[in-house]
Amino acid sequence: MGTEPTIAVLDDFFPYKLSAFRYEEFHSYLDAMPGLSVHAIWPHLRKYGEQRAPAEAIDEYTREHPSHAGRVRPLVRGEDQFPYADAYYTIFLSNIRVHLLSIEARRRPFAFTMYPGGGFCIDVPDWDQCMERVLGSPYFRKVIATQPIIRDYILAKGYCGPEKILYIPGGVIHRSAFEPPPPKPRYGMAKAALDIAFVAAKYTPIGADKGYDLLVEAAKVLVALGVDVRFHVVGGFDPDLLDLGAAGPRFRFYGYRPREFFRQFYSLMDMVVAPTRPFIIQGGFDGFPTASCVEAGLQSVALLLSDPLNFNSFLSDGDDAIIVKPERDDIVAHILRLAQDPARLAAIGESGRIALTAAFHRDVQIEPRLAMLRELPD
């Protein structure tokens, strides 16, 4: 019986819970692979309002998961401090870029996941050079592509062959999101007001990439038309970012929130709106559906979201979700129709939950990743 291979995961958030998808991914690996450890730096904490020191976050994680004690560690700068392992793994092109030279100095294989964002941009020379360098490394073994455009772009550019791409559409979602939703006070049945959520990180001045400006403009129209509606905004947005006009009293802002916040939050929501637009950030785009949409949909919240790059492969438009154009008038028209048909709104939420469970189940998302990691060491 051979020795368990050692794999070092390199990250910039874990074990903080604000990044729920990577928390679930890495926690699942720690559960399944005794030789795996996570080594992290944390440059983004202040941006997301996190006040705890890394040692506190690690201590909390260890208390909650004592079997993982000693396997989550700070990544200390300096080549002599870089962890030794049989193989290395990280997520995002930006993270592998930071660690590539150190990995190559260890002469060990590596793999990474390329999600939208995190350095993956279309036709941006600096990031193209980075991709060519990373995927051309003699120690590169596998890249997980999570959207068709990522897979197709890598192949079109000739950065690597198809045998080095593991295509897993979607992404990892925290296991708590799959728990059956609690009874929901449905709009038009148990309550008169329509509760609409908008959940996104803020990366551009007015959140145009996420469609926050479209939400505000749609809200003004809906309020002017007399719709009894409330808007709930989670993420890096505040009341002073844009003029809310007469819709202002209908908005509530929550800031960034940890994973534990969302189950109760989504139990009160009827709809989540995500009218994302690509290339507001040069070469950048969102995946479909966004992680916040998946988490909301798994709690039977109806999804109203855009798909301008035609990524959708598992949600039936009109049944499992409503696909809208990232335009104010189209958003308003669809919300008005749903506001007039509460039973259909509820049915879309229920049907969406079934479709998303099938697409984002652990067997679909986690198990292929674990198989890849087990095969990674040479």
Interval 357-361 mean pLDDT: 95
% helix, strand, coil for the chain, step of 5: 40, 20, 40
Above 70 in pLDDT, residue 49? no
Tokens (6 digits) for 326 = 């990232």
**Identity of residue 298:** L
Helices (H), 39-115: 54-64, 93-106
Q: Kindly indicate the confidence band of residue 266, based on its pLDDT and cuts at 50, 70 and 90.
A: very high
Q: Which range has highest mean pLDDT (54-58, 278-282, 361-365)?
A: 361-365
> Quick one: pLDDT at residue 375?
94
CA angle 291, 109, 163 (to 5 degrees): 65
Q: Is the pLDDT of residue 77 over 80?
A: no
- Give 189 or 249, the one with higher predicted confidence: 249
- pLDDT at residue 1, rounded to an integer: 39
The third-level CATH classification (topology) of the domain covering 7-173+361-375 is Rossmann fold (3.40.50)
323-335: average pLDDT: 97
Rounded percentage of the chain residues whose pLDDT exceeds 70: 97
The mean per-residue pLDDT over the stretch 17-44 comes to 90
Q: Facing residues of 231 across strands?
A: 196, 251
Per-residue model confidence (pLDDT) at position 183? 87
212-249 pLDDT tens trace: 999 999 999 999 999 999 999 999 999 999 999 999 99
Q: How confident is the model at residue 79 (pLDDT cuts 50, 70, 90)?
A: low
Predicted confidence at residue 267, as pLDDT, reads: 95
The most distant pair of C-alpha atoms in the chain lies apart, rounded to whole Å, by 71
Phi-psi region of 200 (alpha: psi -120 to 50; beta: other; left: phi over 0): beta
48-84 per-residue burial string, b: 16 or more CB within 10 A, e: under 16 = bebeeebeebbeebbeeeeebeebbeebeeeeeebbe
For residues 86 and 79, what is the distance between their CA atoms, to the nearest angstrom? 16
Are 344 and 296 in contact by the 8 Å Cβ rule? The answer is no
Q: Which residues contact 209 (CB under 8 A, 6 or more apart)?
A: 203, 276, 277, 278, 280, 281, 284, 286
CB 36 within 8 A of CB 374: no
Residue recorded with tokens 């990474």: 112
Q: What superfamily does domain 176-359 belong to in CATH?
A: Glycogen Phosphorylase B; (3.40.50.2000)
Query: CB-side exposure of 125: number of CA atoms within 13 Å?
Result: 0
Amino acid at 139: Y
Distance CA 300, CA 271 (A): 9
For residue 16, pLDDT beyond 60:
yes
3-state DSSP assignment of residue 330: helix
Given a cut of 50, whether residue 293 has pLDDT beyond it is yes
- Contact present, 69 and 43 (Cβ < 8 Å): no
Q: What is the mean pLDDT of residues 39-67?
A: 84
By the 8 A CB rule, do 171 and 115 touch?
yes
- Alpha-carbon separation of residue 133 from 88, 104, 130 (angstroms): 17, 12, 5
Instruction: Tell me what pLDDT residue 47 has.
Output: 67
Which of 217-226, 285-294, 322-331, 332-341 has the least mean pLDDT? 285-294
Host H or E run for residue 232: strand 229-235
Average pLDDT on 286-303 reads 94
pLDDT one-digit tens code per residue, 98-143: 999 999 999 999 999 999 888 888 999 999 999 999 999 999 999 9
Q: Where in the chain is the domain with CATH 3.40.50.2000?
A: 176-359
Say whether pLDDT at 148 is over 50: yes
Residue 165 φ/ψ, nearest 5 degrees:
-110, 125
Is 373 or 282 the better-scoring residue by pLDDT?
A: 373
When the pLDDT of each residue in the chain is averaged and rounded to a whole number, the result is: 93
